[in-house]
């Protein structure tokens, strides 16, 4: 399956947003604060997401997927030349 530039861009932007959410999570996470409290108090006011989406984000290997997308994009650029 060949990915289009648009689908690569959409996925890339999604992963960048995931990175921002994970960064916000890591900023406020301590041992005594549950994840649901961090989601409700700090993440939802900025990024209104559900708990299911939050769990999906936390389980996504963001850096790995961004690297794969950048590799795919560079391969497509080489093929276009």
**Using one digit for the tens of pLDDT, what is the confidence trace for 59-81?**
999 999 999 999 988 887 777 66
DSSP at 2: P
Dihedrals phi, psi of 25, to nearest 5 degrees: -60, -50
- Specify the length of the chain in residues: 81
Q: Tell me, what's the pLDDT at 1?
A: 45
Residue whose token pair is 């939050």: 54
pTM of the model: 0.85
Q: Tell me, what's the pLDDT at 74?
A: 84
Q: Exposed, middle or buried: residue 57 (CB in 10 Å: 0-12, 13-18, 19+)?
A: buried
Q: Give the pair of three-digit tokens for residue 48.
A: 């209104």
Q: What is the pLDDT of residues 3-57, one digit of tens each?
A: 788 888 899 999 999 999 999 999 999 999 999 999 999 999 999 999 999 999 9
> How far out from the chain centre does Cα 36 lie?
18
């Amino acid at each position: 399956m060949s990915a289009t530039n648009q689908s690569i861009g959409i996925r890339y932007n999604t992963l960048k947003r995931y990175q921002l959410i994970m960064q916000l999570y890591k900023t406020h996470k301590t041992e005594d604060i549950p994840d649901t409290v961090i989601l409700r108090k700090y993440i939802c006011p900025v990024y209104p997401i559900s708990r299911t989406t939050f769990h999906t984000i936390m389980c996504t290997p963001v850096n790995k997927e961004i690297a794969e997308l950048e590799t795919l994009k560079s391969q497509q650029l080489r093929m276009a030349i």
